[in-house]
């Protein structure tokens, strides 16, 4: 199913004119009936980059990356993970990595061009597990996710996601919560962008746009699954892998990076200064530069003049 969507991706020509490409909303049905909603942009027939956001985010967290990738000639698909944004919440609380890989398989079901996966945090874990389950992307970009993350950072994410179950009276209150969690990022003057991550309940209060049951999963089981899948990925030398690490992240440490590299010596690492765990949001310019340089070597596309 397709329909016009208000999302816009812009790219600069050499003459500094703006070419505006309208995103198209896509809807996919996963194997268990959960509907997944995404945005597709860029030239048909070009190599595809699939963007998988982190836990507690939505597809809109990739807006800067979409603009950069479309500007370099890529086709881009960014979708809301199950239990997030406009995608369905699972009636049975099915939020394991296997469920998320099934969703990704549905998104890719009609893809006939070479593709890369770019996954942040939970999205990166999903991408790793997808390869272990048999998907074969031309390249893989992992954003601040390693098989052995730092427990303190993980617990801080969970604490943020489970705080304030009663929601917020105003968008400004939600901004305060985000600023307290991520002081690295400049506080926006206008909270309008944050509204895409909030939903209004029947009581009129604003709550985060994700299913709270996502945080109920066994985290130890989750990371054991990621570690098993990472070992399978390591045994597939035909898939180049880039890790983009936020240098102020408390989730990925240098020890975690080195352990991952010991497991998979071909791993490339890009370190982004001034960025915490949400690398693409904190330093989108640096993230785009690292990701596009890597993709241009392993999944080349037409470059805008």
Please give the pLDDT value at position 205.
95
133 assigned to some structural domain: yes
Integer Cα distance of 150 and 144 in angstroms:
11
- Token pair in block for residue 234: 């390591």
- Token pair in block for residue 31: 């194997």
- Token pair in block for residue 33: 């009936």
304 assigned to some structural domain: no
Taking all residues of the chain, what is their mean pLDDT, rounded to a whole number?
A: 90
pTM > 0.85: yes
Please give the pLDDT value at position 186.
74
- Indicate the pLDDT class of residue 301, thresholds 50, 70 and 90: very high
Identify the domain containing residue 128 by its residue range.
2-298
Q: Which of 11-25, 199-213, 258-272 has the largest mean confidence?
A: 258-272
Q: What CATH number should be reported for the domain holding residue 173?
A: 3.40.50.1820
What is the mean pLDDT of the segment spanning 218-230?
95
Structurally, the chain folds into a number of domains equal to: 1
The residue whose two tokens read 């530069």 is 289
- Indicate the pLDDT class of residue 191, thresholds 50, 70 and 90: confident
- Indicate the pLDDT class of residue 16, thresholds 50, 70 and 90: very low
pLDDT tens-digit series, residues 149-164:
999 999 999 999 999 9
Count of residues in the chain? 305
Determine whether 103 is exposed, middle or buried from the number of CB atoms within 10 Å of its CB (0-12, 13-18, 19+): buried
- Indicate the pLDDT class of residue 7, thresholds 50, 70 and 90: low
pLDDT tens-digit series, residues 104-143:
999 999 999 999 999 999 999 999 999 999 999 999 999 9
Integer Cα distance of 103 and 152 in angstroms:
29
CA gyration radius, the chain: 18
- Token pair in block for residue 214: 């996502």
List CB contacts of 39: < 8 A, sequence separation 6 or more.
5, 7, 23, 24, 25, 26, 59, 66, 77, 78, 79
- Indicate the pLDDT class of residue 234, thresholds 50, 70 and 90: very high
- What SS3 state is found at 31? coil
303 assigned to some structural domain: no
The residue whose two tokens read 């960025």 is 275
Integer Cα distance of 123 and 128 in angstroms:
9
């Amino acid at each position: 199913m397709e329909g016009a969507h208000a999302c816009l991706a812009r790219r600069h020509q050499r003459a500094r004119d703006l070419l505006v490409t309208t995103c198209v909303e896509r809807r996919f049905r996963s194997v268990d009936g959960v509907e997944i909603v995404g945005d597709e942009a860029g030239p048909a027939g070009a190599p595809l980059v699939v963007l998988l956001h982190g836990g507690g985010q939505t597809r809109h967290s990739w807006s800067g990356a979409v603009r950069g990738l479309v500007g370099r000639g890529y086709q881009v698909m960014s979708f809301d993970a199950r239990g997030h944004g406009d995608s369905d919440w699972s009636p049975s609380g099915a939020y394991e990595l296997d469920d998320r890989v099934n969703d990704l398989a549905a998104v890719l079901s009609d893809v006939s061009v070479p593709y890369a996966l770019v996954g942040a945090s939970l999205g990166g874990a999903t991408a790793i597990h997808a390869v272990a389950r048999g998907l074969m992307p031309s390249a893989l970009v992992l954003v601040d996710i390693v098989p052995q993350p730092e427990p303190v950072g993980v617990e801080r994410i969970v604490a943020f996601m489970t705080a304030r179950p009663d929601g917020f009276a105003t968008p400004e209150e939600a901004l305060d919560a985000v600023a307290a969690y991520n002081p690295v990022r400049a506080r926006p003057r206008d909270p309008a962008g944050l509204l895409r991550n909030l939903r209004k309940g029947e009581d009129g209060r604003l709550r985060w746009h994700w299913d709270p049951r996502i945080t109920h999963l066994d985290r130890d089981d989750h990371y054991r699954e990621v570690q098993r899948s990472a070992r399978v990925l390591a045994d597939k030398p035909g898939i180049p892998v880039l890790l983009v690490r936020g240098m102020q992240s408390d989730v990925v440490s240098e020890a975690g990076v080195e352990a991952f590299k010991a497991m998979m010596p071909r791993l490339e690492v890009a370190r982004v200064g001034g960025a915490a765990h949400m690398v693409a949001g904190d330093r989108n310019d640096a993230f785009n530069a690292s990701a596009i340089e890597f993709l241009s070597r392993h999944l080349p596309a037409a470059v805008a003049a």
